[in-house]
Amino acid sequence: MIKRAILIFSLFFLSNRLYCGHFVQAGVFLDKKEAINLQAYLVSREYPANLVFHNSYWKIFIGPYDDQIKAEFAVNKIAAEDNIKANTADYISDEQVNSKKSEVDVSDEMLGNLIDTAFEFLGVPYKWGGMDPKKGIDCSYFVQTIYKSFGMVLPRTSNLQFKVGKKVTRDELVPGDLVFFRKYPRGSRINHVGIYIGNDQFIHAALGAGKVTVSSLNETYFKKRFSGAKRQL
């Protein structure tokens, strides 16, 4: 926990690199907490909001969009529906974002702390929509709580959590990545999430087990329903 402040910075700094495309800038903040709150709100409204620390400011970028017209439409929509002033903006390149990368480091120790915190929930009962560890929690609340303990705000539902972070393939999985599953083998809607812990295993609040437990991605049930993974670290 000694390096928690560094981890908070690292999570946002490394998990939200922006690439080529058209973006909307919806905020510039000196206060990180204010930036986090706006990002969480925008994500809850299903905007692909990314938080970036650049030139001493926390900046929120929405996108990327395929073309300028779509980006401008998003600006107008955000203003009309959410009363948030925004504007189209150039993306921040990897080179710009990584210009301070030497100042931060997501170390094995930090990842270990996150996984250790998740394991503290082993055996906590499962309850759909639950947000009380004594009475029961669901999968997305479990994930949200673990990341929140390290200062990172994730959306409340697994479907929205799937919309944030960097997409990674199964072969690229590292401990701390989020793994997502759909309800039916041939379905498309995300309805379950867990935290990858290595060796094809993940920890999650499972309906079937009725508690927080560890499962394998190779189990037939999860193998057929695996929908992808996202990296927040």
Both tokens of residue 111? 């990842």
pLDDT digits (tens, 9 = 90+) for 79-101: 888 888 888 876 554 444 443 33
The domain ranges of the chain are 4-103, 108-231
- Residue range 8-55, pLDDT digits in tens: 333 433 344 444 578 888 878 777 777 888 888 888 888 888 888 876
What residues contact residue 165 under an 8 Å CB cut-off, 6+ apart? 15, 178, 230, 231, 232
- Residue 80: predicted pLDDT: 86
Q: Is the pLDDT of residue 170 over 90?
A: yes
pTM of the model: 0.59
Would you please indicate which residues are annotated as catalytic (active-site) residues? 139, 192, 204
The neighbouring-strand residues paired with 76 are none
Over residues 119-143, mean pLDDT: 96
CATH class of 4-103: alpha beta
Closest CA to 118 of 178, 207, 44, 191: 178
Which range, of 71-80, 143-152, 207-216, averages the lowest pLDDT? 143-152
Q: What is the residue-wise DSSP string for 183-206?
A: SSTT---EEEEEEEEETTEEEEEE
CATH superfamily of 108-231: endopeptidase domain like (from Nostoc punctiforme) (3.90.1720.10)
- pLDDT, one tens digit per residue, over 197-223 is 999 999 999 999 999 999 999 999 999
> Over 70: is that where the pLDDT of 138 sits?
yes
Residue 198 bridge partners (DSSP): 201
Task: Find the helix or strand (DSSP H, E) in which 148 lies.
Answer: helix 139-148
User: What CA dihedral angle connects 19, 21, 24 and 25, to 10 degrees?
Assistant: 30
Cα separation, 100 vs 54, whole angstroms: 9
Distance CA 221, CA 228 (A): 15
- Helix (H, G, I), strand (E, B), or coil: what is residue 180? strand
Q: Is the pLDDT of residue 126 over 90?
A: yes
Cβ-contact 61, 89 below 8 angstroms: yes
Statement: residue 2 has pLDDT above 50: no
Closest CA to 195 of 141, 160, 143, 145: 143
The stretch 147-174 carries a mean pLDDT of 88
Which residues, in sequence order, are bridge partners of residue 201?
198, 216
Q: Average pLDDT, stretch 107-136?
A: 89
